[in-house]
Amino acid sequence: MPFDISSLTTNDNHQSLKNSVVRALPTIIVPFKQIVDIKEIKVDPNTQTPITVGIPRKISDVDKNALEEAIKIKEKHGGKVIAITMGPSEAKTALRETLAMGVDEAYLLSDPIFENSDTLATARVLAKAIEKLGEYDLIICGEMTLDGLSAQVGPRLAELLDIPQITYVRKVTIEGNKIIAEKDLEEEYETVEAEMPVLLTVTREINEPRIPSLRDIMKASRKPINTWTASDLGISKENVGTEGSAVQILKVTVPKVERKGIIVKAETIEEAAEELVKTILKEGVLRG
Amino acid sequence: MDFSFTEEQELFRQAVREWCEKNLSLEKVREMDEKEEMPMDVIKGMADLGLLLMTVPEEHGGTGSDWVTACIAAEELAYADISIAVPVFFLVESSWGYVIDRYCSEEVREKYIKKAIRGEAFVGIATTEPGGGSDIASVKTTAKKEGDEWVINGEKIYISGTEEAKKMGGGYFIIARTDPKLGHRGMTAFFLPIDAPGVEITKRYDDMGRMGISTGGFVMNDVRLSDEYVLGEVNKGFYYTMEGFDLARLLIGATSVGATQRALEIGMDYTKQRILFGRPLAKFEGIQFEMADLWARNEALRSLVYRTAWMVNEKYSTGRFGPLEVSKFISAVKLLGPPLAFRTFEKAMIWLGAYGYTRECPLEMGLRGIMSYCVGAEGGLNIQRIIIARELLGREYVPYK
Ligand SMILES: Cc1cc2nc3c(=O)[nH]c(=O)nc-3n(C[C@H](O)[C@H](O)[C@H](O)COP(=O)(O)OP(=O)(O)OC[C@H]3O[C@@H](n4cnc5c(N)ncnc54)[C@H](O)[C@@H]3O)c2cc1C
């Protein structure tokens, strides 16, 4: 990997450093996913399955935080940001949006054989694309996408690429060749560091994704979007799609939420409150 | 025939919507309505997004957006700000700012247009006078050439954005009589800086709606302007005015579509949750049929608005449609849009019952705001009918001649 300080003067991707502590021109890759807008999903009341056809698609929320963080790092330290996504050709719109946000290069990984890939197969496709892209310093993913909520693609990708990973990052700083990251462990924050290249998965708290301006959108529409198919990536059918997945999704249903319609009757507010608390305890909503 | 928006337009719509969700919530709109002031962060935010005077060409500092894209912005802004104060600010600048830029000198462009694009000035339109607004050809304001200068005298009333122009700087597209013998062929358009000596803001009207943007009046006493402030050619002002009205009316159509859509959604959300007679109110046909009707009308309007926007693009780019043909369609947009939005707010308020009548509910702001475009801002409804009938029947049937 590139970021051995001694390679700086010879590597034309990176300018030489005045001060060896400051990193110059990192290459940051952001793999992201375009998902259906889960707010817009309706449920078929007969089958309890979500209706996803015709639902608008968007960049998964936390993936936008990943893109934002990459662009912020580029704005501060220079370098470039490459966005990649595996998906159908409609995902080009999402790539266009990343270009409008400030991404420099966009790649769509698209092939019918990628369909129905699980997190393992997806990570394989992404890893192949990243290898093909060449040198990089940072990979930033969202902690999870809001459709699958598996939180696995980032960690699996780091494993396949054999680089360190820091997950659930809520704050990141770069010092020389080091990444210092604050991890969200729910109960506490943990500060860790790692040498680049490293893969981060970030949480929603890390930043507020920017909204591209009309000018940014217009500029983005003049930038190319590259498409790589399975054969461009040297991927065969056994490793991706249904065949290459370890997990098969059999069915997606929406849990039925039904109201019990319990009415608490009492003379006074105090009695009503007491009755209500009793009912809640009895229903097992709270444990006393 | 392909009715789809471009990818660029879809992304733009999404960006405006997202910005509105963050910066122009109904709570913020209520605050604006109560304080009777548009917050500077909203204006600055619109500038940063590239919305202000977005139709001005790129080489003049705008984004050179076409009219379909401008309609998308108007629609989304009105979906968010149903009081329509922000849409008014946007549409007045995008239409009249475009016309000013099209005919102005480099000096006016540098001093006013470019500033307005950055959200540092307001540019608007001032044609209406105490003698009436509908009959533009009877404007009384005069401009007399004295040496190198034009001396302007007159009064303008019911003018949008006077307080904003005073606070931020800026000025107005005005029209004045330069050759009284020639009737509407003797009128010239000028750019009037609001701080020009002799301009005095006389009042702020106590409007019923769209409180976030002011409506005021001003007098012009011996205001001296150089030739740099003449817009286009002398005695052609009437035609530039019609051009500006057309563009503003188109964007008012898009504003109506957005506001109508939001009113419907507020109504649908509420009536799905309100349980009456043992079932959601929305289950009753008396309610849902009204919704279906309003939705259908709004989709018809939406199609007309975007089709007309496309005609405007063609008018400017290929000349495929002449100005009068385009005006006919634009008048249809202005005739149908505001009354539909008004009707939808009215209906939605009724679906919401007493709650709809309170200020806790946003709907009444919509009713008050859109009324401005029914009573006459940018041209009354009957004026639109006169224009349409003129194009249908021929000029010899114009009723006032
Ligand atoms: C909130 C608000 C903001 C405004 N902002 C601006 C602004 O920024 N700049 C500006 O110049 N003006 C502005 N106006 C004024 C607006 O342009 C005028 O209200 C409009 O032109 C109508 O003029 P009027 O109000 O004098 O009504 P009148 O011209 O007196 O007309 C009264 C009514 O009669 C109808 N009518 C007129 N002629 C005929 C006819 N021949 N046959 C049948 N019916 C007819 C009209 O449609 C109208 O309904 C604004 C108005 C409002 C309410």
Is ligand 1 within 6 A of the CB of residue B206?
A: no
Chain A to chain B Cβ contacts (< 8 Å) = 42
Do B241 and B382 lie in a common domain? yes
Condensed to tens digits (0 to 9), the pLDDT of residues A210-219 reads 999 999 999 9
Position A77 scores a pLDDT of: 93
Residue A20 predicted with pLDDT over 80: no
Position A262 scores a pLDDT of: 85
ipTM of this predicted structure? 0.90
Where a domain ends, among B197, B231, B265? B231
Rounded to whole angstroms, the Cα distance separating B210 from A274 reads 48
Residues contacting residue B245 through CB under 8 Å, at least 6 positions apart = B378, B379
Residue A202 predicted with pLDDT over 90: yes
Do B145 and B87 lie in a common domain? no
Structure confidence at residue A263 as a pLDDT band (50, 70, 90): confident
3-state secondary structure of A277: helix
Is ligand 1 within 6 A of the CB of residue B125?
A: yes
Residues of B in contact with A220 (CB under 8 A): 11
Do B25 and B67 lie in a common domain? yes
Do B188 and B266 lie in a common domain? no
Do B197 and B55 lie in a common domain? no
How many angstroms separate the CA of residue B4 from the nearest CA in chain A?
14
Where a domain ends, among B89, B107, B122? B122
Averaged pLDDT for residues A24-47? 89
Largest Cα–Cα separation, chain A: 84
Position A39 scores a pLDDT of: 84
Do B163 and B245 lie in a common domain? no
Assign residue B224 a region (left: φ > 0; alpha: ψ between -120 and 50; beta: otherwise).
beta
Is ligand 1 within 6 A of the CB of residue B126?
A: yes
Do B93 and B131 lie in a common domain? no
Position A256 scores a pLDDT of: 80
The chain-wide mean pLDDT, for chain A, equals 88
Position A24 scores a pLDDT of: 65
Tell the residue nearest (CA) to atom 42 of ligand 1: B382
Residues of A in contact with B8 (CB under 8 A): 217-218, 221
Do B283 and B261 lie in a common domain? yes
The atom of ligand 1 lying closest to the CA of B215 is: 3
Where a domain ends, among B78, B101, B122? B122
Position A88 scores a pLDDT of: 95
Tell the residue nearest (CA) to atom 38 of ligand 1: B134
Rounded to whole angstroms, the Cα distance separating B54 from A253 reads 45
DSSP A182-241: EEE-SS-EEEEEEESSEEEEE-GGG-------HHHHHHHTTS--EEE-HHHHT--GGGSH
Instruction: Tell whether B41 is covered by a domain.
Output: yes
B3 is written with which tokens? Answer: 């009715």
Condensed to tens digits (0 to 9), the pLDDT of residues A94-140 reads 999 999 999 999 999 999 999 999 999 999 999 999 999 999 999 99
Tens of pLDDT, residue by residue, chain B (401 residues)? 899 999 999 999 999 999 999 999 999 999 999 999 999 999 999 999 999 999 999 999 999 999 999 999 999 999 999 999 999 999 999 999 999 999 999 999 999 999 999 999 999 999 999 998 899 888 999 999 999 999 999 999 999 999 999 999 999 999 999 998 998 999 999 999 999 999 999 999 999 999 999 999 999 999 999 999 999 999 999 999 999 999 999 999 999 999 999 999 999 999 999 999 999 999 999 999 999 999 999 999 999 999 999 999 999 999 999 999 999 999 999 999 999 999 999 999 999 999 999 999 999 999 999 999 999 999 999 999 999 999 999 999 999 88
Searching chain B, which residue's CA lies closest to the CA of residue A217? B8
The helix-helix angle for B67-80 and B7-23 (nearest 10°) equals 20
Instruction: Tell whether B1 is covered by a domain.
Output: no
Assign residue B119 a region (left: φ > 0; alpha: ψ between -120 and 50; beta: otherwise).
left
Rounded to whole angstroms, the Cα distance separating B367 from B344 reads 9
Searching chain B, which residue's CA lies closest to the CA of residue A93? B7
The CATH number of the domain holding residue B82 is 1.10.540.10
Position B391 scores a pLDDT of: 97
The CATH number of the domain holding residue B157 is 2.40.110.10
Residues of A in contact with B22 (CB under 8 A): 211
Condensed to tens digits (0 to 9), the pLDDT of residues A220-241 reads 999 999 999 999 999 999 999 9
Number of C-beta neighbours around residue B7 at 10 A: 15
Q: Is B272 on the interface with A (CB under 8 A)?
A: no
Is ligand 1 within 6 A of the CB of residue B338?
A: no
Q: Is B10 on the interface with A (CB under 8 A)?
A: yes
Instruction: Tell whether B99 is covered by a domain.
Output: yes
Among the partner-chain residues A93, A97, A214, the one whose CB lies closest to the CB of B50 is: A214
Residue A19 predicted with pLDDT over 50: no
Residues of B in contact with A213 (CB under 8 A): 15, 48-50
Rounded to whole angstroms, the Cα distance separating B189 from B241 reads 8
CB interface of B with A, residues 163-202, below 8 Å: none
Averaged pLDDT for residues A133-150? 91
Do B279 and B312 lie in a common domain? yes
Preceding omega of B338 cis (within 30 degrees of 0): no
Instruction: Tell whether B2 is covered by a domain.
Output: no
Would the CB atoms of A97 and B14 count as touching at under 8 Å? yes
A119 is written with which tokens? Answer: 């997190």
* Site from B5, B8, B56 to mutate, A interface, most A CB atoms within 10 angstroms: B8
Domain count of the fold of chain B: 3
Would the CB atoms of B8 and A217 count as touching at under 8 Å? yes
The Cα angle at residue A99 between residues A93 and A105, in degrees rounded to 5: 110
Tell the residue nearest (CA) to atom 6 of ligand 1: B159
Averaged pLDDT for residues A157-180? 95
Residue A12 predicted with pLDDT over 80: no
Do B268 and B393 lie in a common domain? yes
CA of B133 to the centre of ligand 1 (A): 4
Condensed to tens digits (0 to 9), the pLDDT of residues B25-59 reads 999 999 999 999 999 999 999 999 999 999 999 99
CA of B216 to the centre of ligand 1 (A): 14
Q: Where are the domains of chain A?
A: 5-244, 258-288
Number of C-beta neighbours around residue A216 at 10 A: 21
Buried b (16+ CB within 10 A) or exposed e, A40-72: eeeeeeeeeebebeebebbbbbbbbbbbbbbbb
Do B110 and B195 lie in a common domain? no
Would the CB atoms of A93 and B7 count as touching at under 8 Å? yes
Out of 1.10.760.10, 3.40.50.620, 3.40.605.10, 3.50.50.60, which CATH number does the structure's domain A5-244 have? 3.40.50.620
Number of C-beta neighbours around residue B176 at 10 A: 25
Residues of B in contact with A92 (CB under 8 A): 7
Asked if residue A108 lies in contact with residue A95, where contact means CB atoms within 8 angstroms, the answer is yes
Position A146 scores a pLDDT of: 82
Position A287 scores a pLDDT of: 67
Rounded to whole angstroms, the Cα distance separating B24 from B33 reads 12
Query: How crowded is the C-beta side of B144, counted as CA atoms within 13 Å?
Result: 7
Asked if residue B365 lies in contact with residue B30, where contact means CB atoms within 8 angstroms, the answer is yes
The CATH number of the domain holding residue B297 is 1.20.140.10
Domain that holds residue B371: 237-397
Position A288 scores a pLDDT of: 56
Do B201 and B162 lie in a common domain? yes
Residues of B in contact with A211 (CB under 8 A): 15, 18-19, 22, 49
